[in-house]
Amino acid sequence: MIDVERFKLLHGPYRTPKYCIERRVRCAVRGEMKIKEFSDAPISWPMGRLRGGPCFLIVCGGLLKAIRRESEQAICHHWGVCRTTVWNWRKALNVPQTNEGTRRLYVDYTPERLTAEARCRAIEQGNTPEANAKKAEGARRRPPSAKVLKSLAAGRRKLNTPELRRKISEAHKRRGYASTFDAGSSTLPADVGRNGARS
């Protein structure tokens, strides 16, 4: 992957804030402070200082948005900071390790990191009977999501209609066990299985 793609900003451009020196602004990580100078990175950014210590970038405006959605490498390149700084920003702002920009790098960079042979071997190992059994067991133990439960409830409401019950009643009559099914009820006889056959 070439550097232009590696350092690409998905939601740029980010412009330098039009602040003046000594203006008080609020940093999302350290709180309110005065601007002491501007960085000389590709994207110049206001910098502050606490108690006579070294200057650091003030997390505000476009930088705050970039931390939430751009990749670590892109932020390091355009704002001139190290990976540890970006990691600390993400931790302070509760940004997940993998955001939109990082996922884009993973997807685009995977073909370069893994050969075709390695990818085929990974697919084969992930589809063995043991692997499939493990995945199935995990799916059975996993509780259904709120979206799935909502869809199931909507499906039950759709199926529980007089018209559908009438059709089920007629089908039961044709199969010879209509006397145990009430067309006005939404339940099947106790001895009728899911596939319509009697147990």
Question: Residue 109 and residue 112: Cα distance in Å, rounded?
Answer: 5
The domain boundary, picked from 78, 102, 126, lies at 102
Residues paired with residue 48 on neighbouring β-strands, in sequence order:
56
Residue 198 scores a pLDDT above 80: no
With cut-offs at 50, 70 and 90, classify the pLDDT of residue 41: very high
Q: Decide if 189 is inside a domain.
A: yes
With cut-offs at 50, 70 and 90, classify the pLDDT of residue 165: confident
The reported pLDDT for the residue numbered 159 is 72
Question: Residue 97 and residue 94: Cα distance in Å, rounded?
Answer: 9
The reported pLDDT for the residue numbered 175 is 81
| pTM reported for the whole predicted model | 0.54
Which phi and psi (to 5°) does residue 86 adopt? -65, -40
pLDDT in tens, 167-187: 888 888 888 765 444 544 545
Q: Decide if 136 is inside a domain.
A: no
| Shared-domain flag, residues 11 and 91 | yes
Question: Residue 160 and residue 185: Cα distance in Å, rounded?
Answer: 9
Instruction: Look at residue 27 and give its three-state secondary structure.
Output: strand
The domain boundary, picked from 102, 119, 140, lies at 102
Per the structure, the complete domain to which residue 63 belongs is given by 3-102
Tokens of 12: 């740029």
Q: Decide if 151 is inside a domain.
A: no
pLDDT, average across residues 158-174: 81
pLDDT, average across residues 41-68: 90
The reported pLDDT for the residue numbered 192 is 47
Question: Which sign, positive or negative, has the C-alpha torsion 117, 123, 125, 128?
Answer: negative
**Comparison of pLDDT for 166 and 197, the residue scoring more:** 166
Q: Decide if 120 is inside a domain.
A: no
pLDDT, average across residues 95-118: 80
Q: Decide if 108 is inside a domain.
A: no
Residue 45 scores a pLDDT above 60: yes
Q: Decide if 130 is inside a domain.
A: no
Residue 81 scores a pLDDT above 50: yes
Task: State the total domains in the chain.
Answer: 2
With cut-offs at 50, 70 and 90, classify the pLDDT of residue 79: very high
The reported pLDDT for the residue numbered 70 is 92
Residue 98 scores a pLDDT above 80: yes
Q: What is the DSSP letter of 192?
A: B
Instruction: Look at residue 14 and give its three-state secondary structure.
Output: coil
**Comparison of pLDDT for 30 and 177, the residue scoring more:** 30
